[in-house]
Amino acid sequence: MTRLAMVLDLDRCIGCWACAVACKQENSIGEGLWWQKVDTVGGETIDTSVGVFPDVRKYYQPRNCFHCADAPCIPVCPTNAIVKRDDGIVEIKQELCVGCGKCEPACPFDAIEMNVVAPLLPPGLEKGHGAAEVQPRVAGVVEKCSFCSHRVDAGQDPACVAACPTQVITFGDVDNPESRVAAARRSPGAFRLGEDTGADPSVWFLPATQGELQRRSGKPSGSTAPRKPKGLS
Amino acid sequence: RMAKSNSSVSPEQVVNTVCAHNCGGRSRLACTVRDGVLVRVEPAPAPDDAYTGLCVRCLTLPQWVYSKERIKTPMRRVGPRGSGQFVPISWDEALDEIVDRFNALIDAHGSSSIAFVRSTSASPIASYTRLASLLGGGGTSNFYGGVDMAVHMGLNSTFGDKGMYGQHSNEWTDRLNSKLTIVWGHNPAETAMTAMRHLLNARDAGCQVVVIDPRYSATAMHANWWIAPRPGSDLALALGLLHVLIVEGLIDRPFLFDHSCAPFLVRTDSGKYFRSGDASTSEKPSAPQVWDLHSGRAVELNSTAAPALEGRFEVNGVSVATAFTLLTDSVAKYTPSHVAELTGLDASDIVDLARTYAKAGPAQIGLGYGVDRYKHSELFARAAAAIAIVTGNIGKPGAGVGVQSHYHGSHPARLGPGPALPKWASTKPVPMIEVGRRDLPVRAVFCQGDWINQRMGDMNTSLAYLKTLEFVVTVDHFFQTTTQWSDIVLPACTFLEDNSAARDALVFGNSIYLRPKVIDPVGEARTDFEIERDLARRFGLGEWFRESSEDVVRGQIDGARDPAFDNITYDQVVQAGGAIRLNVPTTPHVQYGNDGFTTKSGRAEFYIEELAELGEALPAFVADHEALLTHALAERYPMLLVQTHARQRAHSTFFNTAWTLEIWPEPILEMNPDDARQRGLANGEMAEAYNDRGHVVARVVCNPDFPPGMCNITEGWKQQQYADGNVQELTNSEINAGQTLIWGHANIPFFDTRVEIRPAALKRQGAEA
């Protein structure tokens, strides 16, 4: 059997969002929706760490649909609009979706979003952008990452894989032991999110260890309390 | 599975080109054009596969080109200056008005009353320089310089002048040959993302990556060793490393003898080199002499087999010392414990870094522009270069020192010359940092790009200067700050738009690349080539301009005499799809591997005699810059404000791209959570940063990646994107005397900016900018 999968080496991710923007462009996704996101694992807001300087820590974790082998979104769909292809890609058939929204909470990974309004595209690109093979997005249906099935069918890597400047993502048939993605999956420490869900996701991560392993030198430069009024007007 | 129907798909084509923006990555781009619209950008294979790839900025090119800020027609100002009120006019009207106004000013006040200035936020191709040098019989003013040059000045002084942004570092791919690389004030993970792959490849292959940065950057988080000195203290750290290397004898004596100024004798009275005939001081300068250990005399370098590396001597009553002895003595006071006080590091870390670097094997020092934007950054670069020189860590695979944030450092090759210019064609240089700060004859400025927002510090002074001008013309893609203050605005094509088959040619990534037309011009935009040519014709200077840019490019490739171009013609490059690998070695380019240094002595010169009068013949820690806690302003303005580069922009280019604005929507003021708390500020609240020069209002983000006392607003936001003020109102434009003495201009020290921060009332800015 073919099982298309991804392995993301988090020790090479720089949080640049090229994967996510390439995805948005390729699939003509409207304002406010992202099929791929890059989580900052650290502080409260994007690009911030947790901790006290210089003992701080953060890493980046791109996240898309995990194309689970036992995808929980499929059985809850009343119109059979979500299907699993023979190669493992979990795909939404837009023309069958009635927008009931049952699949959204069924996904343990928050990978499905409702396109509530007609997609808003940037000026000059209102007729759509990205691949011609991608169906125009419409209001009232759910959407999510397709592993760029149209590119896979043409023998290409998904747009996120092609765009990543630091080559974080390995893509291919994880059931083929000779494949690069199978080798990457066998790397020490490889893990998946949501092992306990039983969904059997097809996206693995290699852990971000550099921040823990690295040596650090330096200390805070001292008090920087705000200046006192001292009679200044 | 059935393929989706393509019946409704409109005709499309894919055109390959090369990104033109100022991160320097020069990504090769496959551009999908459907119904004449650029709808997709993907990486295109580069002739040298190491350079296939792009970054998030390239991906936003389709919305950049069509953004709502795009200028579609020539415009004339109708409201008061700065009001932003314009009406469309025809190209003929616009060009005629420019020519009439410029001619009248040149007649009345001379050609120096016209100035040309450019910023990379507009078309990045060198334009209008021919017109500038021909106009008014030569002698128009040229505002040049700006920022990100100080480290280049320091490296140029040491190794020989390679031009304003001259590269001295090895090729990105050479990092694989290094056992250790010190990434110093350089953050490719956020500034030059396509360079980061090579650093990660080296790390994953076992090269130890040391990042020196006061902030936990996205590059620092990937390092084996992150070192966080106090902001602005990098020079002290470099001198401390030199101290340890020399005291512990971790030096490469053969390299110092053969390839550096180390054995040259220096007069201790004047700081000048000791030369033959020096006692009479009447003769022309000859080569510096050395001390011959056999005869105990000062002699010419090439007449002794035993020059002294160290020592103080007397020649005809003149006290002399070797340059190396002076270096040794000058760093004597930068002991690990003293440098620990200056930098906030532990003394043991300084000792360990010096030993680790010296003993690792081939090691590189890669500099970025985070260490460029302090007042004395040229001295820092000279000290960093001296570290490589004393250890002989230069000119070998895996060994080198240089700026790595900009361009690949791949094998150089020279294109053929462009069309000739008459001998009298010239411009009068005016250092950018002095514009608005001294009297100039300039009455009209021809601007390419958003010069005022991006290239000048102390923005209120710059804007006051702009208001004194009689006539301002701006060529740009988008309405920005400088366009708002202009009288005539001209719409320029981006690098993706053209009417000509070849817009320009460039050598990059061991290849020759063409930029062809990808899409038709947007609106009535014209290429800079056409605008310059048509202005020149109206000035009666048309004979010096070719009909099309393709003519120029063909001449540059077919006329190239560099062996790298042997058997490569323009037509072949076109047939190959616009890129061909040059005839250059397949191993990574190593600077100074085969070529000597291009200094006067042909050696690496850590000693600069011309700077003796300023006490800077050797790099010293001149602790007078605003960034330091010891500065007089530090009590009143306890926070140091820097401007890191943002992932979404190359400087200010891409300020207007919708997809990345969804991710990073507005200017944010990042600071250590303790600093925020002490000022009664919390995440998401609006705060005002202010000093005597100006202010800015932005949303607070508490981020412990920054040390206490340091705050940040990424550079390149535009006036209209701030809630109030502008980060450039706050920045410093103090002039460095040493840079001016050697280079005729000085770098703008944007990071020598102290501020205080307080909560801000939420209010939108008024109409007046």
Confirm or reject contact between B702 and chain A (CB < 8 A).
yes
> Which chain B residues have a beta carbon less than 8 Å from that of A124?
37, 62-63, 65-67
Q: How far apart are CA B457 and CA B732, in angstroms?
A: 6
Distance CA A101, CA A78 (A): 10
Is the separation of the CB atoms in B479 and B656 below 8 Å? no
The CA distance from B239 to B749, in Å, is: 21
Query: What is the greatest pairwise CA distance in chain B?
Result: 95
Contact B708 A31 (CB under 8 A): no
The edge-to-edge listing of strands for the beta sheet with B400-403 is A215-217, B225-227, B208-212, B180-184, B363-367, B400-403
Please give the pLDDT value at position B452. 87
For residues B440 and B432, the answer to whether their CB atoms sit within 8 Å is no
Evaluate the omega torsion of the peptide bond into residue A177 and state whether it is cis, within 30 degrees of 0.
Answer: no
Which residue do the tokens 């094509």 mark?
B493
pLDDT at site B595: 72
For residues B686 and B704, what is the distance between their CA atoms, to the nearest angstrom? 18
DSSP 8-state symbol, B148: S
What's the pLDDT band for A92 if we cut at 50, 70, 90? very high
Nearest to B62 among A52, A129, A213 (CB): A129
Instruction: Report yes or no: B758 at the A interface, CB cutoff 8 Å.
Output: yes
Q: What is the pLDDT of residue A230?
A: 41
Q: What is the pLDDT of residue B684?
A: 96
B478 beta partners:
B70
Query: How close is the nearest chain B Cα to the Cα of A26, in Å?
Result: 7
pLDDT of residue B600: 92
For residues A98 and A75, what is the distance between their CA atoms, to the nearest angstrom? 15
Tokens of A225: 């309390």
Residue B5 has a pLDDT of 40
Nearest to A49 among B54, B231, B703 (CB): B703
Q: DSSP per residue over B612-624, as a string?
A: GGGT-SS------
Contact A56 B757 (CB under 8 A): no
A157 touches B: beta carbon within 8 Å: no
A207 vs B: CB within 8 A:
no
- Shortest distance between the Cα of A181 and any Cα of chain B, in A, equals 18
Which residue bears the tokens 């209010």? B763
Collect contacts of B286-295 with beta carbons under 8 A, ≥24 apart: B287/B601, B288/B261, B288/B264, B288/B601, B289/B264, B289/B265, B290/B263, B290/B264, B290/B265, B290/B322, B291/B263, B291/B265, B291/B320, B291/B322
Determine contact, residues B546/B530, Cβ cutoff 8 Å.
no
Neighbours of B173 (CB within 10 A): 22
| Strand, coil or helix: B35 | coil
CA distance linking residue B418 with residue B558, whole number of Å: 11
Q: Which of B200, B520, B672 to mutate to test the interface with A (most CBs of A within 10 A)?
A: B200
Residues 51-110 of B with CB under 8 A from A: 53-56, 59-60, 62-63, 65-68
A226/B679 CB distance under 8 A = yes
Tell me which residue in B214, B701, B708 faces A224 most closely, judged by beta carbons.
B708
* Residue B365 contacts residue B184 (beta carbons within 8 Å): yes
Delimit the domains of chain B by residue range.
Answer: 10-66+498-522+546-596, 70-148+426-491, 152-260+331-405, 632-759
Q: Does B166 touch chain A (CB under 8 A)?
A: no
Orientation of helix B347-359 relative to helix B336-343, angle to 10°: 110
CB contact under 8 A, B40 and A21: no
A18: nearest CB among B56, B68, B639? B56
User: Nearest residue of A to residue B231 by CA position?
Assistant: A221
A166, A218, A181: which is closest to B203 by C-alpha? A166
Judged by CB atoms closer than 8 Å, whether chains meet at B39 and A130 is answered as yes
Q: What is the pLDDT of residue B22?
A: 86
> Which residues on B lie below 8 Å from A48 (Cβ)?
670, 701-705
Mean pLDDT of A152-172: 98
Please give the residue of chain B at the shortest CA–CA distance from A32. B662
pLDDT at residue number B281: 53
Record: fold of B632-759: Barwin-like endoglucanases (2.40.40)
B56 CB neighbours in chain A (<8 A) are: 16-18, 21
Q: Output the average pLDDT for chain A.
A: 94
Name residues 227-246 of chain B within 8 A of A (Cβ). 227-231
Contact A50 B704 (CB under 8 A): yes
Distance CA A10, CA A13 (A): 5
Residue of chain A nearest B665, judged by CA positions:
A46
Query: Which chain B residue has the Cα nearest residue A23?
Result: B59
CATH of domain B70-148+426-491: 3.40.50.740
Rounded-to-integer distance, Cα B659 and Cα B56, Å? 10
Q: What is the mean pLDDT of chain B?
A: 93
Beta bridge partners of B577: none
Q: Do A135 and B647 touch (CB under 8 A)?
A: no
In this prediction, residue B121 carries a pLDDT of: 66
Say yes or no: B588 contacts chain A, CB-CB below 8 A.
no
**Chain A residues near residue B649 by CB distance under 8 angstroms:** none
Place of tokens 């930068």: B334
User: Which phi and psi (to 5°) does residue B91 adopt?
Assistant: -60, -40
Token pair of B28 as six digits: 């090769």
Considering only CB atoms, which chain A residues are within 8 Å of B709?
220-222, 224
All domains of chain A in start order, with CATH: 4-212 (3.30.70.20)
Strands, DSSP E only, in chain A? Answer: 4-9, 37-41, 50-52, 55-57, 59-63, 82-84, 90-92, 113-115, 141-143, 169-173, 203-206, 215-217
Nearest in space to B619 (alpha carbons), one of B161, B153, B150, B154: B154
User: Cβ of A224 and B200 within 8 Å?
Assistant: no
- Measure Cα distances from A195 to A1, A202, A205 in Å: 21, 11, 12
Chain B within 8 Å of A58 (Cβ-Cβ)?
A: yes
pLDDT along chain B (769 residues), means of 10: 42 94 92 97 97 97 96 97 94 98 98 92 74 94 92 97 89 97 97 95 98 98 97 97 98 96 97 78 74 96 93 96 98 97 96 98 96 96 98 97 85 94 96 92 95 88 94 95 95 92 91 95 96 97 95 96 97 96 96 88 96 96 92 96 96 95 98 97 97 97 97 95 96 94 94 97 48
Residues in A closer than 8 angstroms to B340, CB to CB, are none
Q: How far is B390 from chain A (nearest CA, A)?
A: 24
Q: Which residues of B touch A45 (CB under 8 A)?
A: 683, 701, 703
Q: Which residue among A45, A123, A216 sits closest to B683, beta carbon to beta carbon?
A: A45
% residues pLDDT > 70 (chain A)? 94
Collapsing DSSP states into helix, strand and coil, what is residue B355?
A: helix
ipTM: 0.95
Contact between B684 and B669 under an 8 Å Cβ cutoff? The reply is no
Please indicate if any CB of chain B lies within 8 Å of the CB of A233: no
Q: Looking at the domain that runs over B152-260+331-405, which CATH code has it been given?
A: 3.40.228.10
- By Cβ distance, the residue of B9, B345, B639 closest to A218 is B345
Residue B652 distance to chain A (closest CA, Å):
17
Residues of chain A found within 8 Å of residue B1, distances taken between Cβ atoms: 85-86, 153
Q: Does A11 touch chain B (CB under 8 A)?
A: yes
Tokens of B483: 């366009």
Token pair listed for A33: 């929706």
Of B37, B228, B662, the CB nearest to A54: B228
With cut-offs at 50, 70 and 90, classify the pLDDT of residue A98. very high
Structural tokens at position B564:
């790298």
Q: CB-based contact (8 Å) between A217 and chain B?
A: yes
* A130-144 pLDDT tens trace: 999 998 889 999 999
Helix (H) or strand (E) holding B123: none
Q: Do A128 and B39 touch (CB under 8 A)?
A: yes
Mutate to test the interface with B, among A113, A223, A224, A228 (most CBs of B within 10 A): A224
Q: What amino acid occupies position B561? A: R
Contact assignment for B225 to A215 by CB distance below 8 Å? yes
User: Which of A12, A14, A27, A169 should one mutate to test binding to chain B, selecting the residue with the greatest count of B CBs within 10 A?
Assistant: A14
Question: CA A14, CA A25: separation in Å to the nearest integer?
Answer: 20
Cβ pair A47:B703 closer than 8 A: yes
Residue B1's closest chain A neighbor by CA?
A85
Strands (E), B329-409: 363-367, 400-403
Rounded Cα–Cα distance for residues B138 and A118 (Å): 58
CB-CB: which of A21, A58, A214 is closest to B223?
A: A214
CA distances from B428 to A39, B129, B441, B452 (A): 52, 12, 11, 20
B10-66+498-522+546-596 architecture in CATH?
2-Layer Sandwich (3.30)
Chain A interface includes B49 (CB < 8 A) = no
Give the residue from chain B lying closest to A89, CA to CA. B1
Q: Both tokens of residue B144?
A: 């040049």
- Element at B638 (helix H, strand E): none
